[in-house]
Every structure is written in structure tokens, then in C-alpha cells.
Amino acid sequence: MPGIVVVGTQWGDEGKGKVIDLLSDDMHMVVRFHGGNNAGHTIVYDGETLKLHLVPSGILYPHIVPVIGNGVIVNPAVLIHEMENLTKIGVEVDRLRISYNAHIILPSHEALDGLMEEGRGAGSLGTTRRGIGPTYADKASRVGLRMQDMLDTLAFREKVRGAVEEKNRVMTCVYGADPLDAGEVAEAYRGYAERLRPLLADTSLLAKRALGEGKNVLFEGAQGLMLDLDHGTYPYVTSSNTVAGAVCAGAGVGPRDIDEIIGVTKAYVTRVGAGPFPTEQDNEIGEAMQEAGQEFGTTTGRKRRCGWFDLVILRYAARLNTLTSLVITKLDVLSQFEALKVCVAYRKGEETLEEFPSLCGDFSDCEPVYEEMPGWKSDISGAVRLEDLPVEARDYLQFIQERVGVPIKLVSVGPERQQSIFMDGGGEPLRQGRFLFYDDLPL
């Protein structure tokens, strides 16, 4: 013990990568537990930018055991490419451990993801086209390939070939598309297996042993609550559960192995892809957020849609994840506005809704109810203590904390590690140890 979970509370891209990198100094192991290379986690250190899609965000610390858990789906080509890039910058990647039970993304899954999106026409979901939906569908249908299939070289090759041929029939007959060369794919995957085989492990056991020895294990969430397959804005969601509870199934630990659940939330809201977004500002305000926040998808490069902060979804995230603390990121992006709006409830017809609507159709029809707050109009990107923030910025944070009822323990004011305010009142930045389990907040 302890087990610490970090999850996104919005539609992804909340800055989880930065937060996990910061906390990793105090961790022994960082475990990804769901999703695939649809995720894009950015770490900025000493002016360098590192974008990770599959490798856990703790990788830059040599003492960390980075783990890809069984709930993750792995595109071996992407993973190996990422490992090679890390090797080039001097990061030792052979300490990475990958679950025997993680499922494998094939080029046929990616192709099918694209064909299905095109088939939906104007109703497309805006997926990342990384094969996420089709791979999780195969997992649920019990026809997927797993990392442990790589152990038997010849059988694996034949399984890959068979899986691609099966999807070829769907692609040609249903979508009228060209088939993939199943033999070529099988040969490429034989090569990937050679590279990845030594890294395979019983990662559930590794995590359990570390926890048993009293070491800190961080479980790294991808995406965010509103993209959760069950609890998000279905069908405009991803194909895995993003809630903290998914750690148990996706990493092979039990609910009692989890001690802290940290929800990462942007000081405003963004969304990539299609689907409802009540506080969206499809206007110059949204454009100003997009510009100042450099809101481009880390995986696909698409412009992120932007809007005002939404307390209804944060309260929903606090409830479903049982959050023990909050991290607020990108507060600096709001410095440009005279006044800020915060959505405190939704209005649907005559009704005012305080809770996230039970029916997805209702969510699409909701109008936000805003409270307005004064902005601070000054540069806060150099703030390292709470006292360095203008009173309006502190009031904004306090408003969020009070309305959600979960303590804010870290505020981020820029992409660099140093641009972080640990809310322990001590004023010393980068003391992660004090961040965890500190309850008496100065706000």
C-alpha cells in the first residue's frame, strides 16, 4: 500500500500526463489499466516535450517500473516505435512490463474503425481511428488475440493471419473495401513478438507484490469520465471504462488496494470528436481558449472544442470515482478573460437539473446555468505558491472546491513540471510526498 489512481474527469486531455509525471518521483510503479493508443499524454520537462500513447507516463524516472496492464489494448507497432524514441533520448525501456492478458490491436481493427466511421456519415463519432472499438469488440466477443499468444511463434503467426482474413471478409463484403495482405501482417507481427516477448509478465502479481511491500503504485487513467463506455455520453464515448473502478479489472488488483483517487480537471472544458457539450463556446471565447491552451489533440492533431468550466460533470466525476482529491490544470489559460463563467446546473425546459441527466438525450438538450466570476487578467504562469495567485484566481479555485466538496491538492499553471502549485501551504514546489494525504488545505 498505497495504491493511487489518477483519472480524467472531463472528456480527456485534462493534463493527466503532466500530473502523473510529477507524482511519479514518489512512486515505485505506474500502471496503465485501460485504453490504447487513442490516449495521448504529454510531459514537458526542461523545455522538451514528450508525447506518450502507450508507455506509462512515469517512464522518465529510472526507478519506476512502468506497466501496461491487462485492460489496455496494445498496438505493438506503436509501442515499439515509442520505445525506440525513448531509447534515443536515453531512457531505458526494457524495464517495461506488459500483461500477458492485454489484447492486441491489428491493422484490420484500425481499417475497420475507419470504415465504420465513414459508414456512419454525418453521424460519425469522431473516433481516433486507432482500432479501439473493433479491438475491444473482439475482446468481448472472445475472438481477440492476446499478448500471451506471442509466446508460440508459429501459432501466433497463424492466429494473426486468421484474424486478418476474418476482418478482410467483413471489409470486402460489407464495406466494399480492399482486403489487407494477411501474410504481410502476420510476418510483421512475428517480428513485433520477438521484440516484446521478453517484456511480458503477470502484471497483476507484480502490482500486488509491490503493494504488499508497502510501495507506492500509481494507476494511470486514460481519457476521462465523460468518455466512459457506461457512464459517459454514449455513443460518443470510447470503448473502455474510464472510471476509477476500472482499475480493478484492468490492472488485476482489488478495490481494497486503492487508497487515493485523484481527479484531474482542466480549469475550463475541452472535447475532441463529436457529441454533446453543453458549455461549448463555438465562438471567439472558445477560440481564445483553444489558442491560449494550444488545444490540439495529442493523438490526431484535431482542434479541441472548448467551453466554460462545468461543475455538474465534475460533481458527477466526484461521485462515480469517489474522488479523494482534485488537480486543477491550465488555470493560466483563463488569465486572458475579464470575467469567467462556471456552469453550476443545467436547465431543460422548465426544469433545473443539479445532477448529471440520467438520459443521454436530455444531456443533448441541456442549457447551462452559469454563475459569473471576475477574471484576474494577469500572468500567473510563474506562480509557485497559492499566495502568488491573484485573489480572483484563488476565489475561482475555492468556488470549485466548495461546490464539489473535494479538496484541490495541486494547481497547474503551465506545462512544465515547475509550473505547479502544491496546496500544502508550505510554498515549496515539487514536494510530491507532501501532496499525497495532506488534508488541511489553506484555501
Residues at the site binding ligand GDP, with contacts judged by CB under 6 A = 8, 12-18, 40-42, 44, 293, 298, 329-330, 332-333, 412-415
Nearer to ligand IMO, 13 or 21 (CB): 13
Instruction: Compose the 277-306 pattern: x for residues touching ligand IMO by CB under 6 A, - for all others.
Output: ---------------------x--------
Q: What is the SS3 assignment for 29?
A: strand
Distance of CA 409 to the CA centre of its chain: 19
Of 43, 132, 226, 253, which one interacts with ligand IMO (CB under 6 A)?
132
Question: Can you read off the three cell numbers belonging to residue 247?
Answer: 482499475
Active-site residue (options: 28, 34, 41, 103): 41
Q: What is the DSSP letter of 304?
A: P
Catalytic-residue membership of 63: no
Shortest Å distance, C-beta 309 to ligand IMO: 17
Q: Compute φ and ψ for 178, nearest 5 degrees.
A: -75, 145
Of 13, 260, 295, 310, which one interacts with Mg ion (CB under 5 A)?
13
Q: Which of ligand IMO, Mg ion, ligand GDP, none does 128 bind, CB closer than 5 to 8 A by kind?
A: ligand IMO
Contact 29, 13 (CB under 8 A): no
Q: Which of ligand IMO, Mg ion, ligand GDP, none does 414 bind, CB closer than 5 to 8 A by kind?
A: ligand GDP
Q: What is the DSSP letter of 72?
A: B
424 binds Mg ion (CB under 5 A): no
Of 9, 24, 75, 128, which one interacts with ligand IMO (CB under 6 A)?
128
Shortest Å distance, C-beta 161 to ligand IMO: 25
Residue list 68-127, contact with ligand IMO (CB under 6 A): 125-127
Nearer to Mg ion, 36 or 357 (CB): 36
Q: Which of ligand GDP, Mg ion, ligand IMO, none does 329 bind, CB closer than 5 to 8 A by kind?
A: ligand GDP
Question: Can you read off the three cell numbers belonging to residue 242?
Answer: 474510464
Shortest Å distance, C-beta 299 to Mg ion: 7
Q: Which of ligand GDP, ligand IMO, Mg ion, none does 44 bind, CB closer than 5 to 8 A by kind?
A: ligand GDP
Shortest Å distance, C-beta 262 to ligand IMO: 15
Contact 52, 82 (CB under 8 A): yes
Q: Compute φ and ψ for 312, nearest 5 degrees.
A: -65, -45
Give the integer Cα–Cα distance in Å for 246 and 243.
6
Give the integer Cα–Cα distance in Å for 17 and 34.
15
Shortest Å distance, C-beta 54 to ligand GDP: 13
Give the integer Cα–Cα distance in Å for 51 and 214.
30
Contact 382, 388 (CB under 8 A): yes
DSSP readout, 316-382?
A: HHHHHHT-SEEEEE-GGGGGG-SEEEEEEEEEETTEEESSPPSSHHHHHH-EEEEEEEE---S--TT
Catalytic-residue membership of 53: no
40 binds Mg ion (CB under 5 A): yes
Point out which span in 39-47, 152-160, 354-362, 420-428 binds ligand IMO (CB under 6 A): 39-47
How distant, in Å, are the alpha carbons of 53, 153, 197, 229 from that of 148?
A: 21, 11, 8, 26
Instruction: Compose the 296-335 pattern: x for residues touching Mg ion by CB under 5 A, - for all others.
Output: --x-------------------------------------
Question: Within a 10 A sphere around the Cβ of 285, how many other Cβ atoms?
Answer: 17
Give the integer Cα–Cα distance in Å for 419 and 160.
46
Interface residues with Mg ion (CB under 5 A) are 13, 40, 298
Interface residues with ligand IMO (CB under 6 A) are 8, 11-13, 38-41, 125-128, 130, 132-133, 222-224, 227, 238-239, 272-273, 298
Residues marked active site are found at 13, 41
